[in-house]
Amino acid sequence: MSTATLLLIPPVALTLLIFFVWAFSAAMSPLAFKRKGPRGALDKPYAGGENLETHRVQPDYSQFFPFAFFFTILHVVTLIVATSPTGIAGSIAFAILYVLGALLALYILFRR
């Protein structure tokens, strides 16, 4: 096995890449900016102006999941309909049946 072929084996290539990135980082660390003195507010967590030490936000995903399922259903239907072959007699009926099933799923998803 030649050296060029050995370098193309993924574990060897990954190990060499990690070593070179580590060596480059170690060589460039003297040039990195280092803050002297107290950091003040830089050590505190920041999340859009909220004080995370006294108040933690609990997000509500109840409105997210119906839309996530909506887009998933529509993307799968689009994929099935767009890739159904046109030369086969039953493919059009299958695509229409799939669209009707998706409409039923969307009705169930968004009924109130």
CA distance 106 to 69: 9
The number of domains in the chain is 1
Within a domain: 78: yes
Within a domain: 77: yes
Domain that holds residue 89: 61-112
pLDDT tens, the chain, 112 aa long = 777 788 889 999 999 999 999 999 999 999 988 877 777 767 666 666 666 666 666 777 887 888 888 888 889 889 988 888 877 778 888 888 889 998 998 888 878 6
CB–CB of 98/80 below 8 Å? Answer: yes
Q: Give residue 17's pLDDT.
A: 95
State the sign of the Cα–Cα–Cα–Cα dihedral 62, 64, 70, 76: negative
CA distance 108 to 37: 60
Within a domain: 87: yes
